[in-house]
Amino acid sequence: MPADMEKVPRSIWWGNNEENGKPGIFILDQTRLPLVGEVLCFQQLNGIELAIKSMAVRGAPALGVVAAMAVALWSENESLDTEVGPWLAGIDAVAERIGQARPTAINLSWGARRVRDYAHLLAESGAPLPALKLSIVALAQKIAMEDEACNRSIGAHGAELVNPGARIMTHCNAGSLATAYYGTVGAVIYTAFDQNKLEHVWVGETRPLNQGARLMSWELMAAGVPCALITDSMAASVMQSGWVNAIFVGADRICANGDVVNKIGTLSMAIAAKRFNIPFYVCAPNSTIDKTASDGSQVPIEQRDGRELAGFTVTGTIVPTDDTVSKAFDLLTESGEKLLRFKGKHKMNVYRRDGGYAFDAWFQTTPLNLPIYNPAFDVTPADLVTAIITETGVHKPADL
Ligand code: MRU
């Protein structure tokens, strides 16, 4: 049976908001998946910038798409310019700002710059402002479609490397949710599964934000691909047991020498793969290759809030089991959301949703005021990478 892609939702799309008829960027909020599947609509740059920073939308190719859409969104909903010159200056500033919302994934600045450069090119040909505005909206949507097409090619090339009966391992979510659709590693998995070659996927948990545990496992299960979750620290032992035929991971930036910057934990997986002679493949569109970065030391590594490590976040819906509980939550949420703070810095936000109640909570699990180091990415040296799979084929890292 092929992968049931109908069950895997899209992560980002451009559309008109039903309430005010104005354009917006719609995203499936990945901070709340899989327990709450909420679609958010952003109509202003501030909002979408925050969604990027908070990782409601995430994954390098998805960030490229959303960055392109963010520039177009500003042009549609916030630019008051009536002349091409000041509009272009605004586009430059917005592209610069959105490109820096997160520092490591090159796709973010790539997507923003692509729209900016197109705006300049069209303006040089003398196109009037309304036509320019329409054209950049169309380009942003085209970038989303191109991303999906790239992924399908990555899937076709990558699946050739998967042998019948393969048990593969992956890290983080480089699945459909991390792209406009279908994923990079996701594409390889879904294609190989459709070809009846893939037996099983080991999904690395991906501490601290659990993109593997929350997102990759969820989309694989939705698509009907057999998978099992392991913590990051179990990966080497699973390889040692002989249960892994190949490893496929995504990338946030690939340097000119083939070094791969990807989710923290990728490096340890690659080192273990080398030790156990398991091929280690990186799947990414060409837009993830940064020829200006000679090697991994040139890439800024995002440092994230220590609270991601100091505790855990839970989000979900509350189903009261009796009247007393319902009444208690009614009272609590009488005047809207209620933020509850507990001793030990735990906190919980309770609110009404779809005739019931929902919550977002954060619980501290470490000693208070513990110093924390929380880099979001690491650098896997090119010599640990067997091959890099892009939409144009399978490349040796040294051949980049
Ligand atoms: O911090 P995130 O969740 O945006 O990091 C995502 C990753 O590291 C992915 O592996 C990478 O972006 C490739 S996604 C196709």
Written as tens digits, the pLDDT of the chain (400 aa) is 899 999 999 999 999 999 999 999 999 999 999 988 999 999 999 999 999 999 999 999 999 999 999 999 999 999 999 999 999 999 999 999 999 999 999 999 999 999 999 999 999 999 999 999 999 999 999 999 999 999 999 999 999 999 999 999 999 999 999 999 999 999 999 999 999 999 999 999 999 999 999 999 999 999 999 999 999 999 999 999 999 999 999 999 999 999 999 999 999 999 999 999 999 999 999 999 999 999 999 999 999 999 999 999 998 888 888 899 889 999 999 999 999 999 989 999 999 988 889 999 999 999 999 999 999 999 999 999 999 999 999 999 999 8
Q: Are 263 and 210 in contact (CB under 8 A)?
A: no
User: What totals of helices (H) and strands (E) does the chain contain, helices first?
Assistant: 11, 18
What ligand 1 atom has the least distance to the C-alpha of 183?
Answer: 15
The CA 172 to ligand 1 mean position distance, Å, reads: 7
Cis peptide before 208 (omega within 30 of 0): yes
Q: pTM for the whole thing?
A: 0.95
Burial class (CB in 10 A: 0-12, 13-18, 19+), 92: middle
Considering only CA atoms, give the Rg of the chain. 22
Strands 280-283 and 246-249: parallel
Which among 282, 296, 290, 259 is positioned nearest to 386, based on CA atoms? 282
Report how far residue 246's alpha carbon sits from residue 38's, in angstroms, rounded to the nearest whole number. 34
Q: Is 81 a catalytic residue?
A: no
Which DSSP symbol is given to 371?
Answer: -
Which DSSP symbol is given to 375?
Answer: B
Q: Where are the domains of the chain?
A: 5-153, 157-298+377-399, 307-364
- Strands of 253-255's sheet, edge to edge? 289-290, 253-255, 260-263, 377-380
Nearest CA to ligand 1 atom 15: 174
Judged by DSSP in three states, 359 sits in: strand
Lining ligand 1 with CB less than 6 A are: 55, 58-61, 105, 172, 174, 178-179, 184, 211, 250-252, 262-263, 376
Look up residue 265 and give its two tokens.
Answer: 């934990």
Write down the H helix ranges in the chain.
Answer: 45-53, 60-77, 84-99, 106-124, 129-159, 185-194, 217-223, 235-240, 266-275, 307-310, 323-332
Look up residue 374 and give its two tokens.
Answer: 């929380």
Report how far residue 213's alpha carbon sits from residue 300's, in angstroms, rounded to the nearest whole number. 26
What ligand 1 atom has the least distance to the C-alpha of 211?
Answer: 3
- Fold classification of 5-153 is Four Helix Bundle (Hemerythrin (Met), subunit A) (1.20.120)
The CA 182 to ligand 1 mean position distance, Å, reads: 14
Q: Considering 252, 259, 360, 378, which one is annotated as catalytic?
A: 252
The CA 105 to ligand 1 mean position distance, Å, reads: 8
- Fold classification of 157-298+377-399 is Rossmann fold (3.40.50)
Nearest CA to ligand 1 atom 10: 250
Give the Cβ contact number of residue 345 at 10 Å: 15
Look up residue 179 and give its two tokens.
Answer: 């792209």
What ligand 1 atom has the least distance to the C-alpha of 58?
Answer: 4
Look up residue 87 and give its two tokens.
Answer: 């509009």
The CA 108 to ligand 1 mean position distance, Å, reads: 12
Q: Are 68 and 139 in contact (CB under 8 A)?
A: yes
The CA 207 to ligand 1 mean position distance, Å, reads: 13
Q: Give per-residue burial for 23-47: e unless 16+ CB within 10 Å, then b.
A: bbbbbbbbbbbeeeeeebbbbebeb
Nearest CA to ligand 1 atom 13: 250
